[in-house]
């Protein structure tokens, strides 16, 4: 039995499965209450304990995993009133959220003075992979800290790729999401143009599936397009806009021209701005279709 005591904040779509696998491996695990009580109650039934605040969770933990929406929530849960830092003890914090790299590096430097280490370990793949323990993880941090958390991350990940110092994991995650969300924007526009010319989504799929342009993201996207499976890819358009906005901020800070990323961001901004923020990424195909006078891309 390990002596490391684990804290976990953010037991939502991804975090629930991750925490489940940590608990199943025998790690003493404390979780923070979540607005959705169903995953909390499930984890308590599996042997986790619940803390009433991030401070209390920190007091019970050696290593704390965060799986929240983004940098704003990360800063709040660490530095806010009754946050992790308020416990006043050494901690290793692993941020599995998709966060702004500039915020991550600044926060890591600030926390180091308090004997708190922050590393970034964002995720790739789906909530099903989190449940099955087959996520991909990009991890930025000192090699000794990465080695310390690796046995725990291996409980919910099949592939762990060290990226360099703290902040590089979040940078790589933004690039990964840029590619995926870029494909999503391309699929949506291509389907709309095809529908305008009378090409059915089924025909589009017969050409792409199994060819060089096929990939896992394409398949989950089209599971919604063809089968109308709303849960095929549970990543909201609002979160897609957040991630592409983080990339835009990173490009601006780097004095880099990024016209393609700007166009991709605008696709998701349009979807959120027209009231579809809580829909999932494959539903961008319907948004783009309807804005062009077509009921759905399928």
* Active site positions, annotated: 173
Q: CB of 60 within 8 A of CB of 6?
A: no
Radius of gyration (C-alpha) of the chain in whole angstroms: 20
Alpha helices, DSSP H, located in the chain = 15-24, 37-46, 54-59, 71-79, 101-112, 127-132, 143-153, 168-196, 201-208, 216-227, 237-253, 259-273, 284-291
User: Element (H or E) spanning 91, and its range?
Assistant: strand 91-95
- Say how far apart CA 30 and CA 80 lie, in whole Å: 19
Q: Which two tokens stand for residue 63?
A: 């290593």
DSSP string, 197-234: TT--HHHHHHHHTTSTT--HHHHHHHHHHHH--TTSS-
User: Element (H or E) spanning 118, and its range?
Assistant: strand 116-120
Q: CA-CA distances (angstroms) from residue 170 to 61, 119, 286?
A: 24, 10, 30
Residue 284 exposed, middle or buried by CB count within 10 Å (0-12, 13-18, 19+) = buried
């Amino acid at each position: 039995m390990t002596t490391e005591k684990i804290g976990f904040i953010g037991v939502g779509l991804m975090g629930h499965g991750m925490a489940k696998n940590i608990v199943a491996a025998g790690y003493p695990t404390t979780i923070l209450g979540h607005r959705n009580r169903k995953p909390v109650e499930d984890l308590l039934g599996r042997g986790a304990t619940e803390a009433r605040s991030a401070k209390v969770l920190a007091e019970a933990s050696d290593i704390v995993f965060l799986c929240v929406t983004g940098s704003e929530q990360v800063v709040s849960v660490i530095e806010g009133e009754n946050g992790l830092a308020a416990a006043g003890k050494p901690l290793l914090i692993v941020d599995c959220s998709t966060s702004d790299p500039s915020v991550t590096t600044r926060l890591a430097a600030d926390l180091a003075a308090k004997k708190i280490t922050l590393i970034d370990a964002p995720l790739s793949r789906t909530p099903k992979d989190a449940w099955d323990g087959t996520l991909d993880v990009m991890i930025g941090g000192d090699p000794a800290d990465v080695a310390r958390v690796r046995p725990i991350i291996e409980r919910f990940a099949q592939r762990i790729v060290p990226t360099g110092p703290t902040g590089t994991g979040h940078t790589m995650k933004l690039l990964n999401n840029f590619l995926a969300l870029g494909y999503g924007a391309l699929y949506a526009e291509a389907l709309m143009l095809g529908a305008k010319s009378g090409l059915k989504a089924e025909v589009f799929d017969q050409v792409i599936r199994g060819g060089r342009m096929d990939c896992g993201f394409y398949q989950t996207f089209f599971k919604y397009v063809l089968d109308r499976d709303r849960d095929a890819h549970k990543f909201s358009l609002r979160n897609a806009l957040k991630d592409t906005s983080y990339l835009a901020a990173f490009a601006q800070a780097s004095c880099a021209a990024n016209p393609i990323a700007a166009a991709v961001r605008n696709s998701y901004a349009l979807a959120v701005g027209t009231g579809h923020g809580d829909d999932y990424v494959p539903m961008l195909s319907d948004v783009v279709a309807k804005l062009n006078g077509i009921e759905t891309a399928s």
